Amino acid sequence: MSDQGITPPSWPVRTITHVLLIAASVVMLYPLLWMLSASVRPEAEIFDSGSLWPSAIVWDSFVAGWSGLRVSFGQFFLNSLVIAVISVIGNLMACSLAAFTFTRLDFPGRNFWFAMMLGTLMLPYHVTLIPQYVMFLNTGWVDTILPLVGPKFLAADAFFVFLMVQFFRGIPREIDEAAMMDGCSPWRIYWKIMLPLSLPVLATAAIFTFIWTWEDFFGPLIYLTSIGNYTVQLGLRSFIDASSQSSWGALFAMSVLSLLPLFLIFIIFQRMLVEGIATTGMKR
């Protein structure tokens, strides 16, 4: 049996494959590496040299970036973090409850509402943007984080509801039924049985929610107007000023910093993420 496995390619083929792959990744990584090097080289040199190697390493850009604006960049990080963490909590609670309702409870029009929810997946963000803005303007929520985090508590992210529905469907019904025989209410089944059994999908949803809210530029741009409320992404944009001189060094330095949380999260949760993705779509 083992002899019939795929025979490994000969060494010239292997070498060529590797060279091609390495070349491709260098091409793809070039912008990132360029940004990294731009953040630590003297500012005058940024657009003058195509080389990735800085002539000298200076940290001026980081200092200039962190406190170069009216508000410290630390404040932006804090704002972004608050929004991302609240969004994660909201999405986990609301989407899992919605998914539980769709998979385990019987109510009139269940299939209709499920189809409606899936329908919202097809709606581009930009279609609902203006009505939503008007709505939040009327409630007086503009220039607060509420328009950004509030909808998360109403399971507005249909994608995650769908992901969790898929996962919940893979949990055998008999486990719920056993819990029912044990006297559990639906709420207790959700809390004590479904959630603990759904850690992979919850982790996936948490990580993606964090990444997507952290990266979001459009939402904060629309709803946050005063600089004290800015997120990291809005802060970055503030370095580019049409009327006066843009501080590119600071921009790149802060861009590098803004990537760190994502990078850390990815490294820490990589295994859970992969497991989550593998167990949701294609269970069994």
User: Does 272 interact with another protein (rule: CB under 8 A)?
Assistant: no
Residue 128 phi, psi dihedral angles, 5° rounding:
-90, -5
Residues touching another protein, count (CB under 8 A): 16
The residue (of 10 and 111) whose beta carbon lies closer to another protein is 111
The residue (of 191 and 212) whose beta carbon lies closer to another protein is 191
The CB-of-132 to another protein minimum distance in angstroms stands at: 39
The residue (of 171 and 259) whose beta carbon lies closer to another protein is 171
Which residue in 14, 18, 188, 271 binds another protein (CB under 8 A)?
188
* Phi-psi label, residue 140: left if phi above 0, alpha if psi -120 to 50, beta otherwise: left
Q: How far apart are CA 162 and CA 155, in angstroms?
A: 11
Q: How far apart are CA 165 and CA 167, in angstroms?
A: 5
The CB-of-205 to another protein minimum distance in angstroms stands at: 18
Q: How far apart are CA 189 and CA 178, in angstroms?
A: 10
Q: What is the DSSP string of 74-137?
A: HHHHHHHHHHHHHHHHHHHHHHHHHHHHHHH---TTHHHHHHHHHHHHHS-HHHHHHHHHHHHH
Q: By CB under 8 A, which span of 122-130, 172-180, 209-217, 219-227 interacts with another protein?
A: 172-180
User: Does 110 interact with another protein (rule: CB under 8 A)?
Assistant: no
Residue 255 phi, psi dihedral angles, 5° rounding:
-60, -45
The CB-of-116 to another protein minimum distance in angstroms stands at: 24
User: Does 174 interact with another protein (rule: CB under 8 A)?
Assistant: yes
Which residue in 59, 134, 177, 264 binds another protein (CB under 8 A)?
177
Which residue in 181, 242, 267, 282 binds another protein (CB under 8 A)?
181
Contact characters 195-234, another protein, x per CB under 8 A: -xx-------------------------------------
Q: How far apart are CA 178 and CA 283, in angstroms?
A: 22
Q: How far apart are CA 184 and CA 31, in angstroms?
A: 55
Q: How far apart are CA 74 and CA 228, in angstroms?
A: 11
Which residue in 9, 119, 172, 228 binds another protein (CB under 8 A)?
172
User: Does 283 interact with another protein (rule: CB under 8 A)?
Assistant: no
Q: Under the rule (CB under 8 A), what is the footprint of another protein?
A: 172, 174-175, 177-184, 188, 192-193, 196-197
